[in-house]
Amino acid sequence: MRTTVERRAVGPRDVLIEIRYAGICHSDIHTVRGDWGKVPYPLTVGHEIVGQVTEVGAEVTRHSIGDRVGVGCMVNSCRECDNCKAGEEQYCLKGMVGTYAGTDRDGSVTQGGYSTHIVVDEDFVLRVPEAIAYETAAPLLCAGITTYSPLAHWKAGPGRNVAVVGMGGLGHMAVKIAAAMGAEVTVLSQTLGKKDDGLAFGAAHYYATSDPATFEKLANTFDLIINTVSAPIDMGAYLRLLRLDGTLVAVGAPPEPLPVQVFALFGARRSFAGSSIGGIAETQEMLDFCAEHGISAQVEVISADEVNEAYERVLKSDVRYRFVIDIDTLR
Ligand code: NAP
Ligand code: ZN
Ligand code: ZN
């Protein structure tokens, strides 16, 4: 459904962005379906936003008219707490302001990127390198940073064995980024249907989780597992794939709790962790890393009228590997 969203007037530190493309993240779908709780309707979602700057406030120093920019999952934070000061604004102790369904500084509900324009504080606007096309850059603003951050934190790199569970939007970026960091990457997907793509993205190995032999063969193998699955899966089975001191990081956000068998943790001093997007400086670092390594998202560009159909396909794990809305089709 099309509607009109009011944006606040451009303040002294604000940037007005004409949006060109917006990625469809599974979080948009969880949100609008009410998976994570009550939805503050009317709501426009979308937090993988790219476009160009068309107006800047009087005090803006970081961006100029015409710049290629992006906005991810947050548009503000308190900036004063320990976590904000550490550059981890996503973990702001007062709660970061989400790009949509958050509370804006004027008290209104923030509205996301499936729209023609957005007004954002300059500190939460990223530079999109020239080397990355707009449409393939959009998914980096959420899928890219959400996988880059734990891969960097848990030190994916040469000599490290990394598994990625689920090869959708986040998963395919995790494969590309982990491989670019120098890790040996294994994809754990429900079937072997996307194996050729996984290997082309940089994975060395690809296994089907529907085959019980996968879990026997890969027991005690990985230093790091990134779980991107949007539904609950058997944590014990995946934890047992970690070698001594390995870590399984949850980035997938199913509505239901994920029960953890403590004996699977005891077995090899394993850790079960979680990670949420990444800080603003780290998001810029990720964009620059992707430009330097020639990586970006593999996308299917759709028109604004095709969003509902795209949602159905994402829910069926039929996405290769991110739907991106051409916002010109909204104008
Ligand atoms: P997506 O494109 O739908 O990818 C999820 C993948 O998980 C699917 O492609 C599929 O991969 C696998 N999968 C789906 N249902 C499954 C099931 N029932 N059993 C086993 N595997 C299944 O979604 P996404 O946009 O990458 O997002 C993934 C999750 O991350 C969502 O829950 C989203 O809300 C969350 N998320 C979290 C953060 C954060 O900051 N932590 C940020 C963004 C998104 P295969 O076909 O390869 O099996
Ligand atoms: Zn997202
Ligand atoms: Zn804070």
Domain CATH code at residue 158? 3.40.50.720
Q: Which residue in 310, 319, 226, 234 sits closest to 275, CA to CA?
A: 226
Verify that 200 and 152 share a domain, yes or no: yes
Q: Find the Cα–Cα–Cα–Cα dihedral 250, 254, 260, 266, rounded to 10°.
A: -10
Query: Measured from the CB, is residue 140 less than 6 Å from ligand 1?
Result: no
For residue 174, give the ligand nearest its CA. 1
- 282 in a domain, yes or no? no
User: Angle 154-291-15 (CA atoms, 0-180°, nearest 5)?
Assistant: 95
- 9 in a domain, yes or no? no
Which of 206, 229, 298 has most ligand 1 atoms within 8 Å of CB, for mutation?
229
For residue 78, give the ligand nearest its CA. 3
Verify that 87 and 154 share a domain, yes or no: no
What does the pLDDT read at residue 33? 95
Verify that 233 and 176 share a domain, yes or no: yes
CB-based contact 230:24 (threshold 8 Å)? no
Can you give the CATH number for the domain in which 306 is found? 3.90.180.10
What does the pLDDT read at residue 132? 98
Verify that 101 and 165 share a domain, yes or no: no
CB-based contact 72:99 (threshold 8 Å)? yes
Query: Measured from the CB, is residue 174 less than 6 Å from ligand 1?
Result: no
N- to C-terminal Cα separation, the chain: 14
User: Angle 273-212-207 (CA atoms, 0-180°, nearest 5)?
Assistant: 70
For residue 26, give the ligand nearest its CA. 1
- 83 in a domain, yes or no? yes
Count of Cβ atoms closer than 10 Å to residue 80 Cβ: 10
Ligand 3 centroid distance, CA of 154 (Å): 23
Verify that 172 and 267 share a domain, yes or no: yes
pLDDT tens digits, the chain, 331 residues: what are they?
889 989 999 999 999 999 999 999 999 999 999 999 999 999 999 999 999 999 999 999 999 999 999 999 999 999 999 999 999 999 999 999 999 999 987 889 999 999 999 999 999 999 999 999 999 999 999 999 999 999 999 999 999 999 999 999 999 999 999 999 999 999 999 999 999 999 999 999 999 999 999 999 999 999 999 999 999 999 999 999 999 999 999 999 999 999 999 999 999 999 999 999 999 999 999 999 999 999 999 999 999 999 999 999 999 999 999 999 999 999 9
Q: Find the Cα–Cα–Cα–Cα dihedral 37, 165, 144, 294, rounded to 10°.
A: -160
Verify that 167 and 127 share a domain, yes or no: no
Given the DSSP bridges, would you call strands 161-165 and 222-227 parallel, antiparallel or unpaired?
parallel
Helix (H) or strand (E) holding 215: helix 212-217
For residue 192, give the ligand nearest its CA. 1
Ligand 2 centroid distance, CA of 261 (Å): 28
Query: Measured from the CB, is residue 166 less than 6 Å from ligand 1?
Result: yes
Q: Is 139 left (phi over 0), alpha (psi -120 to 50) or beta?
A: alpha
Q: Give the distance, in angstroms, between the CA of residue 131 and the centroid of all CA atoms in the same chain.
A: 20
Verify that 110 and 76 share a domain, yes or no: yes
Query: Measured from the CB, is residue 170 less than 6 Å from ligand 1?
Result: yes
Verify that 127 and 91 share a domain, yes or no: yes
Cα maximum dimension of the chain? 62
Dist CA 98 CA 207 (whole Å): 35
Query: Measured from the CB, is residue 74 less than 6 Å from ligand 1?
Result: no
Query: Measured from the CB, is residue 145 less than 6 Å from ligand 1?
Result: no
Verify that 124 and 148 share a domain, yes or no: no
What does the pLDDT read at residue 1? 82
Dist CA 295 CA 291 (whole Å): 6
Verify that 172 and 118 share a domain, yes or no: no
**β-bridge mates for residue 51, sequence order:** 19, 69
- 134 in a domain, yes or no? yes
| Helix, strand and coil in the chain, % to nearest 5 | 30, 25, 45
- 116 in a domain, yes or no? yes
Q: By residue range, what is the domain housing residue 100?
A: 14-142+296-330
| Residue 28 DSSP SS3 | helix
| Nearest alpha carbon, ligand 1 atom 27 | 26
Q: In total, how many domains does the chain have?
A: 2
Verify that 241 and 326 share a domain, yes or no: no
CB-based contact 186:206 (threshold 8 Å)? yes
Query: Measured from the CB, is residue 77 less than 6 Å from ligand 1?
Result: no
- 286 in a domain, yes or no? no
CB-based contact 152:282 (threshold 8 Å)? yes
Query: Measured from the CB, is residue 317 less than 6 Å from ligand 1?
Result: yes
Dist CA 241 CA 295 (whole Å): 28
pTM above 0.85, yes or no: yes
Verify that 247 and 136 share a domain, yes or no: no
- 289 in a domain, yes or no? no
Those residues with Cβ within 8 angstroms of residue 262's Cβ, 6 or more apart along the chain or in another chain: none
Helix (H) or strand (E) holding 196: helix 195-201
Q: Which residue in 283, 225, 279, 234 sits closest to 254, CA to CA?
A: 234
Helix (H) or strand (E) holding 21: strand 14-23
